[in-house]
Amino acid sequence: MAFERTLKMGMVGGGPDAFIGDVHRKAARLDGKIEIAAGAFDVDPAKSRQMGEQLCLDPGRAYDTYQDMIKGEMARPEGERIDFVSICVPNNLHFPIAKDFIEAGFNVMCEKPMTITLDEAKELEKLVEKHGVVFGLMHNYTGYPMVKLARDLVAGGDFGKVRKVVVRYIQGWLATKLEDTGLQQATWRTDPKQSGAGCLGDIATHAENLAEYITGLKIENICADITSFVPGRPVDDDVNCLLRFEDGVKGILHATQIATGQENGLSIWVHGENKTIEWHQEEPNALYLKDNEGPMQVWRRGNPYVEEVSAAAARGCRIPPGHPEAFIEAMANVYCNFADTIWAKLEGQEADALVSDFPKVGDGVRGMSFIETVMESAKSDQKWTAMKK
């Protein structure tokens, strides 16, 4: 899709000490569709201005607060305002900030988990509907081309009915009480006031989203066991779930932050009547397809045989096979589809299914439902618990 101009992005969060905000900026910039135009980058106004300088922004658009940004941008002539805002702040702030921007009519890209409660999530869903804004949720892992291929292979006729899903997300970085060292990434993630939940919100929701994205199936019931292994940690750092999806599909989801020496091990296996697919985020350019008839196949990003099966995977590729693409490119794919959808809206058009293939407010509602259901099941000593509505 050719744009007449680049879209202007505002940002809440992503200040000098932050991590994910800068990754958002790189991903947004990558394909030349988006430029960073404004921001309230930090709760400390001085740091917000410092980041504005570092980004060579118009000084008037490095705001002290996100409320100022809303006012300031609204005051600009149409066409010169930001086209959307990216919200990259601790979890507990997602809801109020997103709410305010939506009510002011801005399109929103929001980090996950979307909110702290399911009720907040459902309220955002209503607001998005009411105000007609484009809302993206940064479940970036579904931006990987091989994840899109996986979805399209599972949906294809050869795969057979899905029977079982195993999804895991294992990290080791929080195996010690890193939050006590002052590391900002650890501190807010393990503070229940800011994060709502620990491992559950930070990574288990990615696993849940990935499983539902690839299979197109909804989880219906969960039997969960959650643990805080690190002494003195007030949030969970380990999540184990038995899953029951619709249509008799069974599953396992496990996530942990105490798997010493593991980096970012998000992996999924989907077993169908005829085929199995397997994918590992740490080697994202490969997808394994297996059956009982012939040799295992290793599908690799960028090849024509991938593109024949999955237009979505093709759309998410920039460079030829063997020239690996990775995490930032996957996040950029989310931004691309989000941006194209905004552009379509600006043009008064409907984005088609390929363009519209990015995580949305509904994914956020599912994620919050998952979190609350797991918590309830775990509290009730692992009774099977229906996904909350």
# binding residues, its own copies (CB under 8 A): 94
Piece of 61-69, 116-124, 254-262, 363-371 that binds its own copies (CB under 8 A): 254-262
Task: Give the closest residue to 147 by CA, choosing from 218, 213, 208, 206.
Answer: 213
Q: Does 385 bind its own copies (CB under 8 A)?
A: no
Q: List the interface residues with its own copies, window 102-141 (CB under 8 A).
A: none
In the complex, the smallest distance separating the C-beta of residue 40 from its own copies, rounded to whole angstroms, is 18
**How far is 170 from 165, CA to CA, in rounded Å?**
16
Residue 276 burial by Cβ neighbours in a 10 Å radius (0-12, 13-18, 19+):
middle
Q: Does 386 bind its own copies (CB under 8 A)?
A: no
Q: Which of 64, 100, 225, 307 binds its own copies (CB under 8 A)?
A: 225
Q: Which of 59, 77, 157, 294 binds its own copies (CB under 8 A)?
A: 294
Q: Does 2 bind its own copies (CB under 8 A)?
A: yes
Q: Which of 103, 246, 263, 347 binds its own copies (CB under 8 A)?
A: 263
Q: Does 184 bind its own copies (CB under 8 A)?
A: no
Piece of 41-49, 94-102, 296-304, 343-351 that binds its own copies (CB under 8 A): 296-304
Q: List the interface residues with its own copies, window 310-369 (CB under 8 A).
A: 318-329
Q: Which of 104, 166, 311, 386 binds its own copies (CB under 8 A)?
A: 166
Q: List the interface residues with its own copies, window 17-56 (CB under 8 A).
A: 19, 22-23, 25-26, 29-32, 36, 53-56
Sequence-distant (≥ 6) Cβ neighbours of residue 57 within 8 angstroms:
36, 37, 38, 39
Task: Answer whether the bond into residue 324 is a cis peptide, omega within 30°.
Answer: no
Sequence-distant (≥ 6) Cβ neighbours of residue 272 within 8 angstroms:
154, 159, 160, 161, 162, 163
Q: Which of 244, 315, 345, 388 binds its own copies (CB under 8 A)?
A: 244
Helices 20-29 and 327-346 sit at what angle, rounded to 10 degrees? 60
In the complex, the smallest distance separating the C-beta of residue 26 from its own copies, rounded to whole angstroms, is 5
Binding mask 51-80 for its own copies (x = CB under 8 A): --xxxx------------------------
Q: Which of 122, 229, 354, 387 binds its own copies (CB under 8 A)?
A: 229
Q: Which of 115, 171, 215, 337 binds its own copies (CB under 8 A)?
A: 171
Helix (H) or strand (E) holding 54: helix 45-54
In the complex, the smallest distance separating the C-beta of residue 349 from its own copies, rounded to whole angstroms, is 19
Sequence-distant (≥ 6) Cβ neighbours of residue 78 within 8 angstroms:
none
| Other beta carbons less than 10 A from residue 333's beta carbon | 28
315: tokens are 């759309």
The amino acid present at 110, given as its one-letter code, is: C
**How far is 59 from 43, CA to CA, in rounded Å?**
17
> Among the residues of 190-234, which ranges form H helices?
192-195, 199, 205-215
In the complex, the smallest distance separating the C-beta of residue 92 from its own copies, rounded to whole angstroms, is 23
Q: Does 285 bind its own copies (CB under 8 A)?
A: yes
**How far is 258 from 171, CA to CA, in rounded Å?**
6
In the complex, the smallest distance separating the C-beta of residue 300 from its own copies, rounded to whole angstroms, is 7
